[in-house]
Amino acid sequence: MAILEILSKKEIKCFDFPPVFDREERKYYFNMSKGAQEYFDNIRSPEFKVGFIVQYGYFYATRKFYSPETFYKTDISHVLSLLGLDIIFNVECYQKNTRKKHRSFILENFAWNEFSNSEKLNLT
């Protein structure tokens, strides 16, 4: 029996990885709302600041979250430049519990709910 191929390998990669932005898209998607800026202003760690803005921009563009290991260096460089930081973004410093807090805020900021078991039950 043949395996049904729904997405091509290229389409799978596009789905699993963040969007590829050009210069203008970076300026647009990494520009935070007023509420996001207020949240951002309370973040102390430079790595957390960079991670937050990159996650924010990717979610803004695709309504999806991505693993920090998939963040593009060009996007990280853009955010570092935007913030005037001269550091190397270390993925391992952007800890899981911090990412979860950022994710919760981003979902709230865009008025989205996290997919939960109650929503799953509504589908059946």
In 3D space, the residue among 24, 60, 45 whose CA is nearest the CA of residue 99 turns out to be 45
Cβ pair 30, 76 in contact under 8 A? no
Mean pLDDT, 10 residues at a time, over the chain (124 residues)? Answer: 71 85 96 95 95 98 95 97 94 93 95 76 70
Q: Which stretches does DSSP call E strand in the chain?
A: none
Count CA within 13 A, CB hemisphere, residue 69. 3
In 3D space, the residue among 104, 85, 89, 90 whose CA is nearest the CA of residue 36 turns out to be 104
**Cβ-defined contacts of 110-117 (< 8 Å, 24+):** 110/59, 110/60, 110/63, 112/63
**Interior/surface letters 29-67, b for 16+ CB within 10 angstroms, e for the rest:** bbebeeebeebbeebeebbbbbbbbbbbbbbbeeeebbe
Count CA within 13 A, CB hemisphere, residue 85. 18
Q: What integer pLDDT is reported at residue 4 of this predicted model?
A: 62
